[in-house]
A and B are shown apart, each in its own frame.
Chain A
Amino acid sequence: MSILVIADHENDALGSATLSTLNAAQQIAAKGGGDIHVLVAGKGCAEAAKAAQTLPEVKKVLLADSEEYDHLLAENVAPLVVKLAEGYDYVLAGSATFGKNVLPRAAALLDVQPISDIVAVESGDTFVRPIYAGNALSKVQSGDAKKLISVRGTAFDAVPAEGGSAELETLEGTGDSGLSSHVGSELTQSERPELTTARVVISGGRGMQSGDNFVILERVADKLGAALGASRAAVDAGFVPNDYQVGQTGKVVAPELYIAVGISGAIQHLAGMKDSKVIVAINKDEEAPIFQVADYGLVADLFEAVPELEKALDQ
């Protein structure tokens, strides 16, 4: 019995999704899942593999550093996962875009029905996952011999990135499928923390009225070391790019503090943030549904309240 965790990484470091996925793996191991191995696939990712060796309770790190894994194309990574899966009972990945893209592809090749986005481990074959954008929780039992699972990062605390001393095994590449090629990436440049892992998130909705007005949220974000988010309404209105979107169709976040500004609180938005520890809502409509989930609600004009908040944080 053994578990393979597919690492999320940025070549020189592990992504935070790996640390929460490892937590889920440890829970499965504790229920009889066996040893944990970590796969680091990519091109020029030796540093990330080195980092993975120090993860607690990891026995072995598999490094597949090869040209065809550059940009982690699903068509090239899935065959590697399929080949390795032979030796494992569980294959886990974070449910970030990489895991969502690759894991089902590998699963289909193994004739396995994967379990997406788990939020709890009940036993070796039973897991809890949100459905209907988190409006219901489904407890499912897998009848497949192998289990391919993606793990919702916000539901499992990140394990410390130290304490382990795993051995390293280097793998050969499985070749280029020739099916797809990477043309370019356009990554949002930001000094701020990443939305899904930030300790504090401040989000704006349709009430912001324009993309330019997000600058007042940015000022508060800078004071709090917060990430900037937005509701789908704000993204649809073109105020901010889609990768800001918090909600059912965007990112799911669970920071210690979530500040919703000018967001009414549609079901679809609540689905992405209601597991935050403390929720603050600032909205001029006192009937807004966001107040029903907010720990602290302030009925106010955001264009007065937000600059005031920025000033108050200086004191």
Chain B
Amino acid sequence: MKVLVAVKRVIDAYVKVRVKSDGSGVETANVKMSMNPFCEIAVEEAVRLKEQGIASEVVVVSCGPQVNQETIRTALAMGADRGILVQSDEELQPLGIAKLLKSVVEKEQPDLVLLGKQAVDNDFNQTGQMLSALLGWSQGTFASKIEQQDGKLRVTREIDGGLETLDLATPTIVTADLRLNEPRYASLPNIMKAKKKPIETIEAEELGLDIAPRLKVLNVSEPPARQAGVRVESIADLVDKLKNEAKVI
């Protein structure tokens, strides 16, 4: 089984983002960038499938500027075999990315495409579902477990009230949720090895797809700040305040 994993470069999840004072977006200059945490989980799962002998090859793809090569290298250091950069310096939104990924899928013919369930920058939670739709494939979103099952993929999904298990016809799309696995740290020898692994570049423009953003960001603002309240000295004090001041119990 050939596995394709899509990865996104985002502001590191542990960085406190700052909104630019002109409202045009958030500050990205001199800010630590990393692979989106859910994409890391997707890469880890693909590498595990390879280690278990289920996956024959793991190809990692990223859409965006040249610097996304760094993110692809991170995935290669984790154990992916080769990379593809679909290069574009323009703003990409999930529908556009899904179209770009579709053309990579058509070229690579994977049996499984793994993605993170959402990116922690724009929080759209769309790309996997949209790619699946464009390909006319099945989808297993928010996966916490993946098993191979007689030519199908059995995926356990995190849903509102608990878990749901689906059998998916392959080829298929799976998006990773938090509990699917715990991603490894790349070892130094593997980081060195990754430098020699090939990354192919495809110019997004040359694919001739309509990937122009459909949503125009008019303004980005800080959410209203929450003021710290008061310290209470005891449970009795707390209960009194909740009953008589806040009137919530």
Give A residues with C-beta under 8 Å from B.
Answer: 71, 73-75, 78, 96-98, 100-109, 111-117, 126, 129-144, 177-188, 194, 196, 200, 224, 232, 235-236, 241-243, 245, 248-251, 256-257, 267-268, 274, 277-280, 291-300, 305, 308-309, 312-313
Whether A108 pairs with B242 at a CB distance below 8 angstroms is no
Known: A280-B242, A297-B232. A105 touches B26 (CB 8 A): no
Chain B residues contacting A103 (CB-CB under 8 Å) are 129
Whether A180 pairs with B166 at a CB distance below 8 angstroms is yes
Whether A111 pairs with B95 at a CB distance below 8 angstroms is yes
Whether A97 pairs with B229 at a CB distance below 8 angstroms is no
Whether B248 pairs with A256 at a CB distance below 8 angstroms is yes
Q: Is the interface of A mostly helix, strand, loop or mixed?
A: mixed
Q: Choose from A108, A138, A291, A292 the contact partner of B98 (Cβ within 8 Å).
A: A108
22 chain-A/chain-B pairs, Cβ below 8 angstroms: A101-B129, A101-B142, A103-B129, A105-B129, A113-B214, A114-B94, A116-B126, A130-B123, A132-B11, A132-B123, A137-B223, A139-B220, A139-B221, A180-B140, A184-B164, A186-B162, A188-B162, A249-B37, A249-B178, A250-B178, A291-B228, A292-B226
Chain B residues contacting A257 (CB-CB under 8 Å) are 242, 246, 248-249
For the complex formed, measure the closest distance between the CB of A286 and the CB atoms of chain B, giving whole angstroms.
8
Whether A293 pairs with B226 at a CB distance below 8 angstroms is yes
Residue B34 CB within 8 A of the other chain: no
Residue B219 CB within 8 A of the other chain: yes
Known: A97-B159, A104-B126, A113-B95. A296 touches B133 (CB 8 A): no
Chain B residues 213-239 with CB under 8 Å of chain A are 213-223, 226, 228-236, 238-239
Chain B residues 129-164 with CB under 8 Å of chain A are 129-134, 137-142, 144, 154, 157-164
Residue B1 CB within 8 A of the other chain: no
Which A-chain residue is minimally distant from B102 (CB atoms)?
A108
For the complex formed, measure the closest distance between the CB of B77 and the CB atoms of chain A, giving whole angstroms.
23
Whether B248 pairs with A108 at a CB distance below 8 angstroms is no
Closest 6 A-B residue pairs measured CB to CB?
A295-B229, A113-B214, A108-B130, A104-B129, A179-B138, A108-B133
| A132, A181, A241, A291 interface centre (most CB from chain B within 10 Å) | A132
Whether B166 pairs with A248 at a CB distance below 8 angstroms is no
CA distance A133 to B17 in the complex (A): 10
Chain B residues contacting A126 (CB-CB under 8 Å) are 218
CA distance A100 to B123 in the complex (A): 11
Chain A residues contacting B177 (CB-CB under 8 Å) are 242, 249
CA distance A116 to B129 in the complex (A): 13
Give B residues with C-beta under 8 Å from A.
Answer: 11, 13-14, 16-17, 19, 26, 37-38, 93-96, 98, 120-127, 129-134, 137-142, 144, 154, 157-169, 177-179, 210, 213-223, 226, 228-236, 238-239, 241-242, 246, 248-249
Known: A106-B133, A107-B95, A108-B130. A194 touches B161 (CB 8 A): yes
CA distance A7 to B121 in the complex (A): 28
Chain B residues contacting A181 (CB-CB under 8 Å) are 166-167
Further contacts, 12 of them, CB under 8 A, given A100-B142, A104-B125, A143-B215:
A108-B129, A115-B215, A135-B223, A137-B222, A139-B217, A142-B214, A232-B178, A257-B248, A268-B13, A279-B229, A280-B238, A296-B242
Which A-chain residue is minimally distant from B241 (CB atoms)?
A296
Whether B236 pairs with A312 at a CB distance below 8 angstroms is yes
Chain A residues contacting B162 (CB-CB under 8 Å) are 185-188, 241, 243
Chain A residues contacting B160 (CB-CB under 8 Å) are 96-98, 194, 196, 243, 251
Chain A residues contacting B178 (CB-CB under 8 Å) are 232, 235-236, 242, 245, 249-250
Known: A78-B133, A113-B95. A132 touches B121 (CB 8 A): yes
Known: A200-B249, A280-B242. A186 touches B223 (CB 8 A): no
Whether A140 pairs with B218 at a CB distance below 8 angstroms is yes
CA distance A256 to B246 in the complex (A): 10
Whether A200 pairs with B94 at a CB distance below 8 angstroms is no
Which B-chain residue is minimally distant from A286 (CB atoms)?
B231
CA distance A126 to B16 in the complex (A): 27
Q: Choose from B144, B154, B218, B226 the contact partner of A141 (Cβ within 8 Å).
A: B218
Whether A141 pairs with B242 at a CB distance below 8 angstroms is no
Q: Choose from B124, B179, B221, B235 the contact partner of A305 (Cβ within 8 Å).
A: B235
Known: A105-B129, A105-B139, A224-B249. A312 touches B158 (CB 8 A): no
Q: Choose from B131, B164, B215 the contact partner of A71 (Cβ within 8 Å).
A: B164
